[in-house]
Amino acid sequence: MWWAVGRKSAGDSRPVPNRSKFFRVSDAPATAAGQEILVVDGDEQVVKGLDRLLTRVGLTVTGTGDHGRARDQILNKYFAVALLDVDTPTPGGGLELLQFARDKAPLMSVIMMTNRRSFDTAVKSFRGGAIDVVLKEPEVVPYLRERVLDAATELRSTIDRTALLEEISESHEDFLLKMREMSKTITDMEDRILGRAKTGERAAISSDPVDVLVADDDPEAVARFQRVLPEREGWHFFAAFTGGEALDHVAQQRPHIVIVKEHLPDLPGTMVVKSVKSGTPDAITLLYAPPVRKGETGFVRMLDGSRVINLVPSYSAPEQLVSAMNEIREALQQQAKERRYLQAFRQRNFEFLQRYNAIKQRVAAQLEQSKKERR
């Protein structure tokens, strides 16, 4: 720390004059080559001396004695370390620039420089976020140089480690996705082999039946739907004549699609739909209003959370639903296929996935820690 070198008597607060030999040191190895350092000091000789000192060890220096230019540099350039004179441009003025630097460039390490041995100045500097406070004395030069190099190297190491962890995390995700794609291919091959080897068994998901519950107090409602969506094509219809009956059926049978009439004897259709989605979120829910009189039209809407999709804005006959129902069926089949892919992948790679998740959690924890250190 600043009081550990070149110490005078405890009560001595007199300025220490700058001397040119303050900067006469031998070259040091470049351990943070290429990092940029900002030097802010009203004494031009100090700026030039620090430029020579730090350039020798592979650092790039930007120097100024103007606070306005210093602020502009902090806002528009990246610096690993800033060396700020406590008394530039006025006594204590460097502390204001320190606060600005910590607010606008939190990754940048700040070292305060001073001619005065003042405990109060040191305390304010450390509280303001400076990593060190050094005296402008010849004996301090080697320490200052090493302090700058250490800070620049430490920041580069932190940034490099963070970047590496982020790359590892992304690579792990890419690797897992590629494995899942390979697993899909294997599953599809198994389906085709199974379909050729075992007659009478379904080899493709496209032939899986779709269970449809129709909640309508009209006894003929299900029959009308069955005429256009027959069982031989995989449509299995079930009837419920009240909202309560529909909810009981959903809880026990979990149909794929639930078609609910807008007005039921006991419950509003919207309430039934919301209850179905709450208990069986995977179910496709349709709210429909059949035409009341000849020549009138109703509607068919799909309710998905807060979204309302008008499937048939002017509904008059079940034939209008065929196209939409087939699209819904395809979507359900794709979802079922994806679930089978995932299930097969987990079964084939159970032990690997356990190890993968453990490593992923460790990488995520290290990445979070690294980001905290950068902040």
Measured CA angle at 1 (ends 55, 103), to 5 deg:
70
What distance in Å separates the CA atoms of residue 86 and residue 65, rounded to the nearest whole number? Answer: 12
Q: Is the peptide bond before 209 cis (omega within 30 degrees of 0)?
A: no
Q: Which pairs with CB-CB distance under 8 Å and at least 24 residues apart come from 159-165?
A: 159/107, 159/374, 161/370, 162/367, 162/370, 162/371, 162/374, 165/363, 165/366, 165/367, 165/370
What distances in angstroms separate CA 87 from CA 63, 66, 112, 132, one per listed residue?
A: 16, 12, 10, 16
The better pLDDT of the pair 28, 267 is held by 267
The better pLDDT of the pair 195, 357 is held by 357
Residues 6+ apart with CB under 8 A from 254: 280, 283
Query: For residue 35, what are its two tokens?
Result: 């990092």
**50-75 b/e with 16+ CB inside 10 Å = b?**
bbebbeebbbebbbbbebeebbebbe
Give the range with max mean pLDDT: 9-18, 171-180, 216-225. Answer: 216-225
Residue 108: per-residue pLDDT:
87
Query: For residue 187, what are its two tokens?
Result: 């599953």
Residue 206: per-residue pLDDT:
45
What distance in Å separates the CA atoms of residue 234 and residue 227, rounded to the nearest whole number? Answer: 13
The percentage of residues in the chain with a pLDDT greater than 70, rounded to a whole number, is 81
Q: Which domains does the chain have, with CATH numbers?
A: 17-160 (3.40.50.2300), 205-348 (3.40.50.2300)
pLDDT digits (tens, 9 = 90+) for 285-340: 999 999 888 888 999 999 887 788 898 999 998 899 898 898 888 888 787 778 77
Report the chain's mean pLDDT, rounded to a whole number.
Answer: 81
Average pLDDT over residues 210-223: 93
What DSSP designation does 34 have?
T
pLDDT range class, residue 373, cuts 50, 70, 90: low
Residue 32: per-residue pLDDT:
59
What distance in Å separates the CA atoms of residue 8 and residue 117, rounded to the nearest whole number? Answer: 8
Residue 226: per-residue pLDDT:
93
Q: Lowest mean pLDDT: which of 13-17, 112-116, 326-330, 346-350?
A: 13-17
Contact 81, 60 (CB under 8 A): no
The crossing angle, in degrees rounded to 10, of helices 141-197 and 44-55 is 50
Residue 52: per-residue pLDDT:
92
Query: For residue 25, what are its two tokens?
Result: 């040191």
pTM of the model: 0.45
pLDDT digits (tens, 9 = 90+) for 58-88: 889 999 999 999 999 999 888 889 999 999 9
Average pLDDT over residues 28-52: 81
Please report the DSSP string for 77-97 in residue order.
S--SEEEEETTSSSTTHHHHH
Closest CA to 203 of 222, 190, 212, 217: 190
Residue 196: per-residue pLDDT:
41
Residue 252: per-residue pLDDT:
94
Q: What is the dihedral of CA 266, 269, 271, 274, to 10 degrees?
A: 140
**3-state percent helix, strand, coil for the chain, nearest multiple of 5:** 55, 20, 30
What distance in Å separates the CA atoms of residue 278 and residue 280, rounded to the nearest whole number? Answer: 6
pLDDT digits (tens, 9 = 90+) for 244-295: 999 999 999 999 999 999 999 999 999 999 999 999 988 999 999 998 888 8
pLDDT digits (tens, 9 = 90+) for 158-205: 666 666 667 777 777 777 787 778 777 777 776 676 654 333 333 333
Please report the DSSP string for 139-175 in residue order.
GGHHHHHHHHHHHHHHHHHHHHHHHHHHHHHHHHHHH
Residue 38: per-residue pLDDT:
95
Q: Is the pLDDT of residue 356 over 70?
A: yes
pLDDT digits (tens, 9 = 90+) for 108-138: 899 999 988 888 889 999 999 999 999 988 8
